[in-house]
Each structure stands twice: as C-alpha cells, then as structure tokens.
C-alpha cells in the first residue's frame, strides 16, 4: 500500500451491489452507475489496482464511471467490456512495472492488449483496447474513432480536465468522487509526467507530456518539428 492514501480496494467493493444483467452481461451498481460485472472486468480492475498508486487507480476508476455514465445518458451503443478494459488500463504506462522506451501511452497500450489477448478477447476487440489506450491523450483523433475508443477518451477528459463534466449529474459526481477520491490528483499526476520528461525526454516531444517538461523540468529542451523539416537532407 502506498502512503498518503485511503484504501481504494474498500471503495471499489463497498460501493457496489449486484443488479442483474444488461445486454446478456451480468451487471452491478458501482458509485451509482450500472457497469458490467464479468470476470474480465474484475481482472482488469485488479491489474490496475495492483500496479497503480492509489491516486492513479482512483483516476482510472473515475474515468471508467464517467464514460459509462455518459454512454448511458446519451444512449450510445457500445461494447461495455471493451470500454471498461480501455478506461481501467489507459494509464498502465504510468504504473509500476510498465515503463519502457516508448511514449507511456504506447507502453500502456501494448500491456493492455497483452492482457486482453490473455483473457481471450478477439483481435478486433483487442485493437479497440489498444487504440483507446494509445490515443487516450489525443482527443483530436480519439473522438473520431469507434464508440468504445471515443467514450474512453471522453471519460478520461471529464476527470483530467473537467471537459464535459457538466453532463454528469451533481449527485452522481458526488457519489463517484466520494467512492474514488482524487488523492491530490493534480499534484501526483504532474509529478509522474515530469519524471518521464526528466528520465525519458525523447518520449515526450510529440505529446502532451512536452507541456509539463517545458513548464516544470529545468533543462528540458524539446526537439522542434520545424528543425526536423529544415534539416532534412534535401535541397528543397
């Protein structure tokens, strides 16, 4: 258990009750939202919980619940298990044991796809999971993809930047935040991304982590796409 936190495992179980089924899948109520209650989803929760600091685990849980709530509100047809796995594992690249030489979203996407394949998901569903994780911080692309990919990004956006939070009813927002508190999310997430900018800056130049490096990391000097074009080995 990491320090300076509450116990997220108690939050996840104490705020859920069995409800029945939806679309042929068993479901339960979690923090006021109906979500799939399948072995696949349970194992995705455990993977996220095992490898993530509590603030990060709570973030992915909230992201999933926000996505599920908005999908239900807007009656978006989607694969609820794929959405769950995508949202729950979207920050694996920031979690213990999944660091690597690629940008953290891709490291996380590779790990999430490996998990999905190991759980017997077909290649189409695995690809949706990969896309949703790899593109979770790129809404300019992600929002134009399949429903599961877009919904995952929307849920992350609500929790990360408050984008679309007005679509979540006030009582539901309170329920989710009480079940999965933010635990200094702004500070802790900033520290996590700055660590990447400090130790693996080459993975941050073409994504949002660059902004954290520029603002918070002394000596951080991102490469310029303009320089790459101008320095290309051609006359024109």
Lowest-pLDDT choice from 16-30, 44-58, 154-168, 174-188: 16-30
Range 8-182: architecture per CATH: Orthogonal Bundle (1.10)
pLDDT at 22 over 70: no
Phi-psi category of 218—alpha, beta or left, where left has phi over 0 and alpha has psi -120 to 50? beta
CA distance readout (Å), 169 to 32, 33, 152, 177: 11, 11, 19, 12
Query: What does the pLDDT read at residue 78?
Result: 96
Query: What does the pLDDT read at residue 13?
Result: 43
Query: What does the pLDDT read at residue 176?
Result: 97
Query: What does the pLDDT read at residue 228?
Result: 85
pLDDT at 6 over 50: no
pLDDT at 44 over 90: yes
Give the C-alpha separation, 203 to 87, whole Å.
Answer: 22
Query: What does the pLDDT read at residue 2?
Result: 33
Contact (CB, 8 A) for 68 and 75: no
- What's the rounded mean pLDDT across residues 172-180? 97
Query: What does the pLDDT read at residue 1?
Result: 30
Domain residue extents for the chain: 8-182, 184-236
Residue with token string 């108690």: 10
Higher pLDDT, residue 1 or 45: 45
Q: Is 236 exposed, middle or buried (0-12, 13-18, 19+ CB in 10 A)?
A: exposed
For 29, the 3-state DSSP assignment is strand
Query: What does the pLDDT read at residue 236?
Result: 82
Query: What does the pLDDT read at residue 4?
Result: 34
Write out the two tokens for 57. 């685990």
pLDDT at 58 over 90: yes
- What's the rounded mean pLDDT across residues 142-168? 96
- What's the rounded mean pLDDT across residues 75-87? 97
Query: What does the pLDDT read at residue 18?
Result: 53
Query: What does the pLDDT read at residue 20?
Result: 61
């Amino acid at each position: 258990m990491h320090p300076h936190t509450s116990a997220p495992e108690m939050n996840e179980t104490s705020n859920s009750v069995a409800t029945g089924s939806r679309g042929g899948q068993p479901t339960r109520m979690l923090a006021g939202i109906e979500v799939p209650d399948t072995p696949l989803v349970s194992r995705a929760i455990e993977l996220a919980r095992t490898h993530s600091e509590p603030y990060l685990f709570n973030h992915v849980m909230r992201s999933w619940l926000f996505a599920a709530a908005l999908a239900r509100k807007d009656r978006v047809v989607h694969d609820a298990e794929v959405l769950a796995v995508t949202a729950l594992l979207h920050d694996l690249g920031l979690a213990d044991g999944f660091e690597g030489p690629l940008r953290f979203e891709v490291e996380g996407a590779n790990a999430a796809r490996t998990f999905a394949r190991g759980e017997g998901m077909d290649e189409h569903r695995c690809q949706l999971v990969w896309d949703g994780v790899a593109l979770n911080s790129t809404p300019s692309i992600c929002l134009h993809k399949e429903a599961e990919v877009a919904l995952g990004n929307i849920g992350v956006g609500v929790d990360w930047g408050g984008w679309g939070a007005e679509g979540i009813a006030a009582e539901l927002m309170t329920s989710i935040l009480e079940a999965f508190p933010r635990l200094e999310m702004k500070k802790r997430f900033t520290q996590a991304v700055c660590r990447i900018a400090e130790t693996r800056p080459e993975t941050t130049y073409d994504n949002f982590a660059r902004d954290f490096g520029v603002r918070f990391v002394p000596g951080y000097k991102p490469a310029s796409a303009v320089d790459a074009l101008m320095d290309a080995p051609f006359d024109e």
